[in-house]
């Protein structure tokens, strides 16, 4: 190790900066969590105080459980997020592989066309999307959301993944061809495991906006049985009165699954398995 890195002053400064950043990032989550366990009065009197015997209350969680079918909302959000991520990764990776591996006429144009979606916000097309969903009878189904989110996530996925797929060794793919693997097997067994870190990145990028989205659930699937968690929590926020206990409790519970998904994907960022393939 080089000396500069061992310098205690530098190490302290580096860790100090990282710890500070962690605190800033975690502070809102922390405030939400502690306040979700407090009475309404305690929330407003001392927002930053920890719940104690006097102020402790589960009233928020009770309201959330009573009002509406919270577990259904939860399940809807989960289905929409996981299915959208699955399709984004599957189709994104396949398109990226085609663009990076095969030479065909219009290869470059196709790549640019697919990347164009990154620059155009999908919400501009909301009216058209709604008309389309009405025409196909998909309004108030989870499919409406899954399809829209998949379309929204694909451009960036194709863009990032094709860059990574270009770096996968040609020799490895050729070795597979000589050993008689089909192009599908080469894609699924050789290439996908090697771009797993990139796939995890794409998944993390897409997951949080989808989970948190209010716009499309409100427009495309506002029915009781297709409400997502974010939309479901909105019942507690009114124009004049907001049930803060319930809102904070709902948010606390909503953080959990994203956290779990994030842990799953971030573990994939570890590249151990890829070393040793070439060189």
Does position 276 interact with another protein (CB under 8 A)? The reply is yes
Does position 278 interact with another protein (CB under 8 A)? The reply is yes
Please check whether residue 158 is in contact with residue 96, taking contact to mean a CB–CB distance below 8 angstroms: yes
How many residues of this chain bind another protein (CB under 8 A)? 23
Does position 171 interact with another protein (CB under 8 A)? The reply is yes
d(CA 60, CA 186) in angstroms, rounded, equals: 52
- Contact stretch for another protein (CB under 8 A) within 45-53, 64-72, 173-181, 254-262: 173-181
Residues 183-242 interacting with another protein (rule: CB under 8 A): 189-190, 193-194
Does position 179 interact with another protein (CB under 8 A)? The reply is yes
Q: 54 or 171, CB closer to another protein?
A: 171
Query: How many helices, marked H, and strands, marked E, lie in the chain?
Result: 15, 0
Distances (CA, A) of 23 to 27, 30, 107: 6, 9, 46
d(CA 68, CA 90) in angstroms, rounded, equals: 34
| One residue of 174, 224, 225, 270 binding another protein per CB under 8 A | 174
Q: How far apart are the first and last CA of the chain?
A: 24
Please check whether residue 122 is in contact with residue 148, taking contact to mean a CB–CB distance below 8 angstroms: yes
d(CA 10, CA 3) in angstroms, rounded, equals: 10
Q: How far is the CB of 188 from another protein (least distance, A)?
A: 11
| One residue of 177, 214, 256, 269 binding another protein per CB under 8 A | 177
Does position 166 interact with another protein (CB under 8 A)? The reply is no
Does position 272 interact with another protein (CB under 8 A)? The reply is yes
Here the tokens at position 64 are: 């959330």
Binding site for another protein (CB under 8 A): 169, 171-172, 174-181, 189-190, 193-194, 272-279
């Amino acid at each position: 190790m080089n000396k500069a890195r061992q310098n205690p002053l530098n190490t302290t400064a580096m860790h100090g900066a990282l710890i500070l950043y962690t605190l800033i990032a975690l502070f809102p989550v922390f405030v939400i969590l502690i306040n979700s366990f407090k009475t309404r009065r305690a929330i407003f009197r001392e927002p930053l105080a920890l719940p104690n015997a006097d102020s402790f209350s589960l009233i928020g969680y009770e309201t959330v459980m009573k009002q509406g079918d919270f577990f259904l909302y939860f399940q809807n959000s989960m289905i929409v997020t996981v299915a959208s991520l699955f399709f984004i990764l599957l189709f994104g990776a396949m398109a990226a592989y085609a663009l990076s591996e095969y030479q065909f006429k219009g290869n470059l144009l196709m790549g640019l066309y697919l990347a164009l979606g990154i620059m155009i916000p999908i919400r501009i097309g909301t009216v058209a999307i709604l008309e389309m969903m009405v025409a196909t009878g998909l309004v108030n189904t989870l499919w409406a959301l899954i399809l829209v989110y998949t379309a929204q996530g694909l451009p960036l996925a194709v863009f990032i993944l094709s860059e990574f797929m270009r770096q996968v060794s040609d020799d490895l793919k050729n070795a597979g061809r000589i050993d008689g693997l089909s192009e599908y097997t080469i894609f699924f067994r050789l290439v996908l495991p090697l771009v797993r870190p990139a796939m995890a990145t794409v998944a993390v990028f897409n997951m949080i906006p989808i989970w948190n989205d209010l716009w499309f659930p409100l427009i495309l699937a506002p029915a009781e049985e297709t409400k997502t968690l974010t939309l479901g929590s909105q019942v507690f926020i009114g124009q004049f009165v907001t049930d803060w206990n319930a809102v904070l409790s709902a948010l606390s519970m909503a953080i959990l699954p994203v956290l779990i998904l994030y842990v799953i994907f971030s573990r994939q960022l570890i590249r151990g398995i890829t070393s040793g393939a070439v060189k």
